[in-house]
Structure 1
């Protein structure tokens, strides 16, 4: 029987096949970030338009992706991975500080990673919503990771005696919902505030949720 097709492994123009493959994938993702995140949006973009934006062929597109939904999925994960990395770095830098001093820098790191490029906000909070059951599952799965991170931080605050000992599952879910909603509305121009004010409000909200009523 004939084996399945494999990508060539030789070098061309000084680059190995895997390098060229990665470069083409990056060009498609960058083109999609522009078309999905700045306009006309995911639903109005075609494979042909994406290929024109990337300066590549449809054949090269289908060597990388099964369809546009795969591109959107990859972008959404990339935006979240970038934000998560920024948060983890900020948590490491502020390790040992009381939570009242820690979460300002942490959420500024998160907001900066998302808001430094408005296209990321649109990908993360708008374009992925309602696309398909698969995308809804991915979006909720990544949201659950953020909820788990907040719960872990709450548990750490409890161990230090900085927060009351209780179940923070609903608290964490409510806070992440607030983060997503407020950043979406701010990016859409519906909130008359700068990013520092938005982050300050989110930090105040989280501290209020973690503090004891006493």
Structure 2
């Protein structure tokens, strides 16, 4: 199909065309979370099945999306946005906490959001893999965004004298890989630990990156 069908315009049922479009899109994404994130998964879902689950028609689907890949792309971004907002909120609430407590709050917020629904983990770490070069580029771009966030927070900690001054990009990239791998393996039942234990391990890893052996905060006194 060359492009989306033209959506109706004007008000209907007290809602504007934009409101109706946002509502339809939300219903398709909710249906995609259900089908892509559980059974039958992205590769086993058809436009007809997605539309039926959303309680909408296939014509309405093509008014919002061109392909099912477009839906997966939008859902992947939405799930990441939810997690990022949880982290941003945690940083805002815990901005004055000591570094160790701030890092713990950040990862507890992230882990709680991502693992609150197993389907989110599947969308983020499973269904998005190997679909197309376009989605692989999007996945890596979102990973790079998380790396940027870690680097920014690390440099803020450096400025406060809480962390060792260094270029954190390589370490942050490796750390994000650890986060993704450990949470995926935990959700799949391959890690015999509680979520709190998983988060505690990630916190220890990040604190070890920020405060390597031998480094001391400026002005610290030898014991």
Match of 2:92 in 1: 92
Q: TM-score, normalised by structure 2?
A: 0.90
What is the deviation of 1:180?
0.4
> Residue 34 of structure 2 aligns to a residue in which SS?
helix
Match of 2:83 in 1: 83
What is the deviation of 1:6?
5.1
Match of 1:179 in 2: 179
Match of 1:55 in 2: 55
Structure 1, unmatched stretches of 5+, are none
Give the Cα–Cα distance (whole angstroms) in 2 for the partners of residues 200 and 47 of structure 1: 41
CA-to-aligned-CA distance 1:93-121 (integer Å, 9 cap, x gap): 11122211211111100111111011000
Give the Cα–Cα distance (whole angstroms) in 2 for the partners of residues 44 and 58 of structure 1: 17
Q: TM-score, normalised by structure 1?
A: 0.94
> Residue 11 of structure 1 aligns to a residue in which SS?
coil
Give the Cα–Cα distance (whole angstroms) in 2 for the partners of residues 162 and 15 of structure 1: 52
Aligned residues: 210
What is the deviation of 1:18?
1.9
Matched, 1:64 2:64: yes
Runs (4 or more) in structure 1 with deviation over 6 Å come to none
CA-to-aligned-CA distance 1:123-148 (integer Å, 9 cap, x gap): 00110011101000100001001101
Match of 2:133 in 1: 133
What is the deviation of 1:13?
2.4
43-52 or 12-21, larger mean C-alpha shift? 12-21
